[in-house]
Structure 1
Amino acid sequence: MKKNYVRPLDLRHGSVDLSHGGGGRAMVQLISDVFGKAFDNEWLRQGDDGAVLPAPGPGERLVVATDAHVVSPLFFPGGDIGCLAVHGTVNDVAVMGARPLYLAASFILEEGFPLADLARIVASMAAAAREAGVPVVTGDTKVVEKGKGDGVFITTTGIGALPVGRSLSGANARAGDAVIVSGTLGDHGMAIMAQRENLAFDSEIRSDTAALHGLAAVAMAAAPGLRLLRDPTRGGLAATLNEIAQQSGVGVVLDEAAIPVDPQVAAACEFLGLDPLNIANEGKLIAVCPADEADALVAALRAHPLGARAARVGEAIADDHRFVQMKTAFGGRRMVDWLAGEQLPRIC
């Protein structure tokens, strides 16, 4: 596999900075050089959003995924840290092609955190779990001293069942495949930023946070040759497609005119000097499928409430460099690279 030559981590004198959690090249390097080397095993090495594990019974395998949630503010238009913790992990299981079954949750609470806010978060989390049909079956709670946390952090782990013979992976994309998104990009990240920056628009920007296993099932039924599904969270579409390009050994060319972005989100990004392709989403899927299945897949996604703005936005190409590029509205091309740092800390 072609290597990205970057400066090695200084494990003796270096320290963690915000870019290590931003979904870009620095985060990938940290995961590879620290966690990957220490925990190395055949399941972790798969490199996907969840690990496919052997199941005790015939006919299915297990998928396990875990995610930590440190979003700030805790409450935002369209959601809160509670429902986000459920949706994020359900989606990581779903994009593996698995049926989400159970959740585990751990809470780190800061001394002095209002019980009313905690109850509101837990109620939201419970409602999201009930709506998704994925119960929280075990958990843990820790409390740290005042000033040693930031209200509440939540980690969730999901267990899912994957049928034998189904394999959706970031390593499956092939030259000629179509790249599809299930809706508008950047809604979640800009809902958070608009609240942080007290930005006012004609209509409120709301997070798209949602459980996507129903939409994933629609995609798998509509496209029998489906290569992969991903949810473009931290780092947005840009980071996710760069991950796929590296795993699959292909390039990707996007069509700027085809990429759906809500006008309010586009305006907020322009105001803040941000690129919607780098902004986190919590209720969108990226699908890669053979080109001859693309129209049927887009139509099926659009028939689902969570996929009404689905669009074919690009294609995978043969490219030994594994670049992600975009055809611009002006007729040129530009590189769509990893984030160099952390644009939006504490976004999920």
Structure 2
Amino acid sequence: MQQLSYGDIKAAADRIVGRIRPVALSRVDPGAIRTAHPDPLDEGPQKPCEVWLALEHMQHTGSFKARGAQNFLAAHREAGTLPDAGVTIASGGNAGLACAWAAQQQGVRATVFLPETAPPVKVARLRKYNADVRLVGAEYAEALGACENFAGATGALASHAYDHPLIAAGAGTLLEEIRQQIPGLDTVVVAVGGGGLFAGVATAAQHHGVRVVAVEPENCRALNAALEAGEPVDVPVDSIAADSLGARRTSGMALHAAQQDRVHSVLVPDSDIIKARQALWDHRRIAVEHAAATGLAALLAEPRYDTRWNALPQPGDPFVPCRSYRPGNGERVAVILCGANTDLSSLTNQDELQ
């Protein structure tokens, strides 16, 4: 299994500087996020938590994936391993868009495989980045098989949506930028799908002593299930956020990062994800995909625990998940909003976040 180091993230930051948009931060209104009950043994002054939204949905192509895609191609160009056949990927989602965009920036060919059922709007966006779009089969697995065959036959460089150290390292640069803008950052909250963003962010956070709250939909719990089993395992996928967080299996890199200290697993129901996404729109006019609202959902939800384990989370048992996260006294928290590729027609006016 390929591992990720903090040095990989620093190298990625040097490669992609000037090629990606530095993340912008927006502070949440005081009192909007409730803190945990104060420790009766803590005699110090009580302070409200400080929460910032990391607006990574404003990144090129509408998601953090642009960071990893740029790092992946730039590293191969540096090493002289970027073939004439260019790069190929099977993904009609954020990873495919980022790969096509980064290839255009690097002046190389991108061949993107999608199932024939892919929405025309995604196909059009990919072609806007000059990608060679190949529609194959009715399911993603068929498109992936065609992509692998294409790479083998042409020598094209095969990319991956999340399970590659260069991809994860690029994503990890986000934590470096957040820390530069929030001195004394205590906690970063990140939504988890396959684990590329989480692996990068958690590796950087471990280096700096920052707590990581890994949030997954309760019915897309690939990382949490891997922590429970001690190895990556296949899980069912059934969530409103499955289009971005619906990996059936997490990466080994993500599991390794999650097994380190100061990582907390949180599972949230779809109902809380929907409310958090709506709240961002109603009160800030921020339009994000459901995956991007998943982290915030953990902070807005009522404190509760998953009764399947009949126990509260204990140190050394990170797979026993909370169903919410409450910041402590004076805790400084950043919540990553990771993507904006969404259907705006699904947003209506409701009041959830004051």
TM-score by length of 2: 0.32
Q: RCO higher in 1 or 2 (8 Å CA, sep ≥ 6)?
A: 1
Higher strand share: 1
Q: Which structure carries more helix by proportion?
A: 2
Please report the TM-score for the alignment, with normalisation by the length of structure 1.
Answer: 0.32
